[in-house]
Amino acid sequence: MTKPIYENLFKPLNLKGLRLKNRITMAPLYLGYAASEGQVSPLLLHHYKEMARSGAAMIMVENSSITPNSSGTPRTIRCDHNRYLKGLETLADTIHQEKSLAGLQINHAGRFAHVSEPVAPSAVSVFGKTPRALTKREIVTIQRQFANAALRVKQAGFDLVELHGGTGYLLAQFVSPRTNHRSDSYGGPIENRIQFPIEVLKRVKDAVGDFPVGYRFLVNEWLPDGLQESESILLAKSLEQEGIAYLSAMGGTYESFFLPDMVKKARRAGYMVSLASVVKKNVGVPVIAAGRISTPSKAESILKEKKADLIGLARMLWVDPEWPKKARKGDERSIIKCSPVCNACFHLVMQGKSAYCTKWSLEKRTIYQGLFQ
C-alpha cells in the first residue's frame, strides 16, 4: 500500500487494548433516527452501516438513555432495559461488519430531560422549567443505572462505552458552578462537584471490568458563570486517575449553543480544537478533538501539532461518508463540506424531527425518508 499523504491521520493507535486502524473517529451525532420507543430502527442501522463503511476507525454511536425518563430528545436510543439488547446487538454487529470499532454513548439528560418533572443537582430553571433537586438516594440509583446501562453496552457486543459528560447534561450539571448549588458533599468547591461523575465512573468500571470507558468531556460551558478550563481540568485529571480510556473534548451547552457569539464561533473550522489541546496538556490519555474539522489537512495539522490524538467527525462524516477514503487518496478537494451557515440538522432535531442533510442528493434523502418509521 502506498504511503498516505496524511501520515499522522493514518497511524494506528492503541486504546486500552483496542486497535484503532487510523485516527478518524465518528463523534456522537443524534439525528432522531431511533424508533418512537427508542428501539434500534432500520433507519438507524442503515445510517450506521454507512458511517462504519466510511473507513473511520471507531464509530461512537450517539447518546442513549440510561433510564426511561432521562432522554433529552424524542427518538433517542434506549439502553435502560434488557429488552433493548437485541436491537443494540444488531447495531454493534452492523458496525463491526464494516470493520470499524463500535462504541455507544450513555446519558442522563437531567434538567434537559423531555419529561414533565426533570431532575438535576439543584433546582435551577432552564427554558421555563424548574427541575427538582435530586436526593442522595436518587443519586445512588442513577449511578447504578449508569452502571447497568454500561453493562448492557458490553453485553450487546460493543467494543467500548462513552459516558456523556458534555452538552450540559446531568454529569456536566453536577460539575458546573452554574447548575450545582448543593450544600451537601456533591456541591461547593470543584473537588466536591466532580464527585458525582467520578463515582459514576467507579460504578461503571465495577460493572464492566476491563471494558474500555471513555468520556465526552465538557471543557468550557461558554457561559459567563459557567464551567471553565480552570476547574474542568481537575475532572480530566481525576478521570484519568480512575482509568478513563480517553477524553473527547467539547464546549458549550444548550444554554450557550444559540448565543450569537457561540453561533459565530461554531462556524469556524476546528472551533473546539483549543479545548482539546488544553486537556491534552494536562493528561496522558488520548484526547479526541471535534468541531468542524472539515478537511484532512486540518485534521493532520491538529495531530502533528499534538493538539489531540484522535479526530472526531460528526456532521463532517455525515455530510460526506467518503471523507476518510478521500483523505487516504489525498483527494481533499472532492470532499463535500458541511455548510457553516446551514445548521438545518440541528434545527430539525430540536423540533423533534429526524434530520437530513441539505447537501444530500434527492435520491439519498428519499432512501432515508423511506426508512423512517
Among the listed residues 6, 30, 84, 169, the single catalytic one is 169
**Residue closest to 163 by CA, chosen among 90, 283, 244:** 244
Q: Judged by CB under 6 A, does residue 349 bind ligand FMN? A: yes
Active site residue 169: yes
Q: Judged by CB under 6 A, does residue 247 bind ligand FMN? A: no
Hey, what's the torsion of the CAs at 348, 23, 52, 153, to 10 degrees?
A: -80
Q: Judged by CB under 6 A, does residue 152 bind ligand FMN? A: no
Instruction: Characterize the bridge pairing of strands 18-20 and 13-15.
Output: antiparallel
Q: Judged by CB under 6 A, does residue 63 bind ligand FMN? A: yes
> Using CB under 6 A, which of 91, 290, 299, 308 touches ligand FMN?
290
**Residue closest to 104 by CA, chosen among 142, 70, 73, 150:** 150
What distance in Å separates the CA atoms of residue 152 and residue 89, rounded to the nearest whole number? Answer: 10
Selected range binding ligand FMN among 96-104, 108-116, 288-296, 297-305, rule: CB under 6 A: 288-296
Selected range binding ligand FMN among 34-42, 235-243, 345-353, 364-372, rule: CB under 6 A: 345-353
Distances from the Cα of 140 to the Cα of 31, 210, 307, angstroms: 30, 22, 36
What distance in Å separates the CA atoms of residue 221 and residue 279, rounded to the nearest whole number? Answer: 15
> Using CB under 6 A, which of 254, 346, 360, 372 touches ligand FMN?
346
Q: How far is the CB of 229 from ligand FMN (least distance, A)?
A: 17
Using the minimum distance from each CB to ligand FMN, give the nearer residue, 10 or 30. 30
Q: How far is the CB of 346 from ligand FMN (least distance, A)?
A: 4
What distance in Å separates the CA atoms of residue 95 and residue 1, rounded to the nearest whole number? Answer: 24
Q: Judged by CB under 6 A, does residue 164 bind ligand FMN? A: yes
Q: How far is the CB of 10 from ligand FMN (least distance, A)?
A: 19
Residues in Cβ contact with 256 at an 8 Å cutoff, skipping those fewer than 6 apart: 221, 222, 223, 226, 262
Binding-residue pattern over the window 304 to 343 for ligand FMN, x denoting contact by CB under 6 A: ---------xxxx---------------------------
What distance in Å separates the CA atoms of residue 209 and residue 201, rounded to the nearest whole number? Answer: 11
Q: Judged by CB under 6 A, does residue 38 bind ligand FMN? A: no
What distance in Å separates the CA atoms of residue 196 and residue 217, rounded to the nearest whole number? Answer: 14
What distance in Å separates the CA atoms of residue 268 and residue 273, rounded to the nearest whole number? Answer: 11
Q: How far is the CB of 290 from ligand FMN (least distance, A)?
A: 4
- Would you please indicate which residues are annotated as catalytic (active-site) residues? 169
State the residues that interact with ligand FMN by CB under 6 A: 27-30, 62-63, 105, 164, 166-167, 216, 250, 290-292, 313-316, 345-346, 349
